[in-house]
Amino acid sequence: ILAQIAAEELGVESSLIVVRGVDTDVSPFDAGSYASSGTYVTGLAAKNAATELREKICAKAAQMWDVDAADVVFDGQYVRLSDERAAREQNRYLTLRDFANLCVKNIAGGDALTSHASACLPVSPPPFMAGIAEVEVDKATGKVTVVDYAAAVDCGTVINEALARVQAEGGIAQGIGHALYEIVEHDDRGRLRTGNFMSYKLPTRLDIGSIRVAFEPSYEPTGPFGAKSIGEVVINTPLAAVASAVAHATGHQIRSLPITPEKALLGE
């Protein structure tokens, strides 16, 4: 997503952008691009850095050609004078590759162009999500099975639908696990009883039915290209949706998690 945002701002193919994890010993301080800040906060920083780099490209070319920076444009492929005819006649028309090579030669100062930017926002616009669960409850054993789950998500402009979809599907699956399977138990001495995956149950793909996700796009003016976060909102709806579906099936409104077969049959 960061590569896509930078590429969009620069007007280049995203394959030209390489995203690297930097060692904290040599990188500047950063609060961290975790939780829901990856696309919304760090994405905006990437966009700002790309904007700065575009300005530096035009300024460097103007210096090389002894013209005003306002007379230079960069369209993602070529650095040239804004008047394309004059650019060709005066040989002021360079591919991005040729321009980059000139930048690291002594003729243009002998240095690569770099830029950096930050993003610190006074607001945090929330994403929204609606979820509906269909469950089957075995009246003999109390076992609850999620047959179908449908969700609609508003995370602003969807930057990368494939990544947003797997983020939503994964969060929904985790929420279903929270609702039906996962429990932390301790004995009388405080020792953890559910300390392995034999006793701490996680749902597998075979335990979860159909998950359907649709996006309802909007535009968030403070985010990069209108994007908002999607990190945590996708885990919020399954708990309530599954509990509500179980209540409709059994008449028992369960208010503590997980919803075990005993609770489904007998209530709390």
Q: What is the phi-psi region of residue 76: left when phi exceeds 0, alpha when psi lies from -120 to 50, beta otherwise? A: left
Average pLDDT, the chain: 91
* Total domains, the chain: 2
| Within a domain: 209 | yes
| pTM of the predicted model as reported, rounded to 2 decimal places | 0.85
CA distance 32 to 57: 29
Q: Same domain, yes or no, for 8 and 67?
A: yes
For residue 236, the SS3 value is coil
pLDDT, residue 106, reads 62
The b/e string for 72-87 (b: 16+ C-beta within 10 A; e otherwise) is bbbeeeebbbeeeeeb
Q: Is residue 117 part of a domain?
A: no
pLDDT digits (tens, 9 = 90+) for 55-97: 999 999 999 899 999 999 999 999 999 988 888 888 888 999 9
The residue among 108, 143, 166 that closes a domain is 108
Same domain, 12 and 89: yes
Name the nearest CA neighbour of 31 among 40, 41, 43, 22. Answer: 41
- pLDDT tens-digit map of 151-198: 999 999 999 999 999 999 999 999 999 999 999 999 999 999 999 989
- Cα→Cα distances 240→9, 93, 138, 140, Å: 40, 60, 20, 24
In which band, very low, low, confident or very high, does the pLDDT at 231 lie, cut at 50, 70 and 90? confident
Say if residues 253 and 247 touch (Cβ distance below 8 Å): yes
The DSSP letter of residue 184 is: -
DSSP classification of residue 122: S
Domain that holds residue 189: 128-266
- At 264 the pLDDT is 94
Q: Higher-confidence residue: 50 or 29? A: 50
Q: What is the CATH number of the domain that holds 162?
A: 3.30.365.10
Domain boundary among 51, 80, 108: 108
